Chain A
Amino acid sequence: MLTRIRNWLDERFGLAELTAPLREKTVPIHSRSYWYFLGGITLFLFGIQVCTGILLLLYYRASASEAFESVQYIMTRVQFGWLVRSIHSWAANLMIFTAIAHMFSVLFLKAYRKPRELTWVSGMILLFLAMGFGFSGYLLPWNTLAFFATKVGTEIAGQVPFVGHQMMVFLRGGEEVTGATLTRFFGFHVAVLPGITTLLILLHVALIQRFGMSVPPDVEAKWKADPAQAREMHFFPNFLLRELMAWYIALGVLGALAALKPWDLGTKADPFAPAPAGIRPEWYFMFMFQTLKLIPAKIWFVDGELVGILVFGLAGLIWLLLPFFERERNGRSSRWILGLGVFALAYMASMTVYGYVAK
């Protein structure tokens, strides 16, 4: 029966021709092959987000007077609602974690090099979009933490010279964080960002398909010297089955976290209450939050937070364009990029830990 369907399709669309690239695609085998799984796991978690997000949409109401109550309703009245929301929150965090790990693995295995510069750039934009998803989604339950996180976050956007204020008003839908902000963030979160992200994922995957998997430079050199050592497996089905196993493990971790540590809802946002003690952003913004806390009020006549924001903005831009700074392989610029990567990882990790430990 299946063969007949396949033959029917093949006769009309040339299915064999269409799927040929998939069958010919190979994945190199070496001691660091495991890092190849991270991008796929991130993609899988994005799929989970789409599915659970659609489920949440069935009950969620995006207005300041109803948002908190509707999430409360999902968590207390809807059957398995707590699980769906919990999975959505946990998968969001795991997705950002695997995306960051994927980014550093690409950096340290030097997979960003020519001809893959645009693969890196599209991946970095995807990471920024994922953070945009996190930031906009964080507000949607309309709780106290989210309210102040959004206030601070949009205020940071407002500090950007020249266009800052317009940007802030655009994001907030007014001068203050109100129900109008919630409506806008909802629109970004469920329509604008998913659309752009889906297109970029297609581009990202198409670029990977075009260039094939990158082999770490030292392995590549060894294989070039002795081609008999080069080993690879077919993507379909060999690698895909291994990837599916990784997805299954990711799903297990996700399910365990969501069931054993259900995501908190907190208290409903009150625009006229002081910020609660111990307020902090999501962990992936923690290193920036802690830095902003430590920067003095004035650095040489300029507001300290402005300096911080500009430095982070510049760092983000450099990171986005990182492959273009490498002039020659294994030369000075290459070592600089490696050093910068180690420094960034160390800085982000230590500031994050510091943020959680410090009062």
Chain B
Amino acid sequence: MANEPISEVQSGRRRVVELFLGGGLLASFLSFVYPVIRYLVPPPVADLGGDEVVAAKVGELKANGSKIFRFGSRPGLLLLNAAGDYIALSATCTHLSCTVQYRADLHQVWCACHNGLYDLNGRNIAGPPPRPLEAFQVHIRGDEIVVSRKRGA
């Protein structure tokens, strides 16, 4: 039986059966894989920060001092320069996302990971960072220092 030659009609039928079988297996396989792939993509997290945050209280920072504050889910850097002005920058290095720090000795912003340097306006001036740090707006409201994203940025 197994060795009998098959006619053209039979082989045509066989091809149809193979197509259905293969297609069905493939479809069922895809239906297993699809939920797995969707499962692997994490659900989005709501950004709790909004566009404005209280970074510090007035008087909290000394001249030539700095602090890291939470801006949504990312860190921001608030510093008080020698002239007494507050400056707020994104603290996420534009190179590979380490958190930068203010170097009071250099009067510059420094990233310890790969030795990147920024000036107080956030401009990348040395090392590997390809872009400047995002600068935020600073308002003083009562005794609170409020940092907000620049409009249209």
Residues of A bordering B, CB below 8 Å: 148, 151-152, 155-156, 166, 169-170, 172-176, 180, 271-279, 289, 292-293, 295-298, 303-305
Contacts and interface: CB of A to CB of B under 8 A. Distances in A.
Interface string B12-44: 000000000000000000000000000011100
Given A274-B91, A293-B127, 18 more contacts: A148-B99, A152-B98, A155-B96, A166-B41, A170-B41, A172-B42, A175-B73, A176-B73, A272-B68, A274-B100, A275-B98, A276-B112, A292-B96, A292-B128, A297-B95, A297-B128, A297-B130, A305-B130
Contacts of B127: 293, 297
B79 to A, nearest CB: 12
Nearest to B70: A272
A33 to B, nearest CB: 43
B75 A271 contact: yes
A279 B130 CA distance: 20
Contacts of A180: 42
Contact of A273 (B96, B99, B111): B99
B99 A275 contact: yes
Interface string B68-81: 11100111000000
Contact of B96 (A152, A175, A278): A152
- Which of A174, A278, A297: most chain B CB closer than 10 A? A297
Interface in B109-153: 111-115, 124, 127-130
Contacts of B129: 297
Contact of A274 (B74, B95, B101): B101
Given A272-B68, A279-B112, A152 B99 contact: no
- Which of B113, B114, B115: most chain A CB closer than 10 A? B113
23 contacts: A148-B98, A148-B99, A148-B113, A151-B97, A152-B97, A170-B40, A172-B42, A174-B42, A176-B73, A272-B70, A272-B75, A274-B68, A275-B101, A275-B111, A278-B112, A289-B114, A293-B128, A296-B128, A297-B95, A297-B129, A298-B130, A303-B130, A305-B130
B6 interface: no
Interface residues of B, number: 28
B2 interface: no
Contacts of B42: 169, 172-174, 180
A63 B45 CA distance: 18
Interface of B: 40-42, 45, 68-70, 73-75, 91, 95-101, 111-115, 124, 127-130
B123 to A, nearest CB: 11
A228 B2 CA distance: 55
A107 to B, nearest CB: 30
Nearest to B75: A272
Contacts of B74: 176
A298 B132 CA distance: 13
Contacts of A276: 112
Contacts of B100: 274-275
B112 A277 contact: yes
A181 to B, nearest CB: 10
A110 to B, nearest CB: 38
- Which of A152, A274, A289, A304: most chain B CB closer than 10 A? A274
A303 B127 CA distance: 12
A273 B68 contact: yes
B114 A293 contact: yes
A305 B115 CA distance: 13
B128 A305 contact: yes
A289 B112 CA distance: 12
B66 to A, nearest CB: 9
Contacts of B98: 148, 151-152, 275, 279
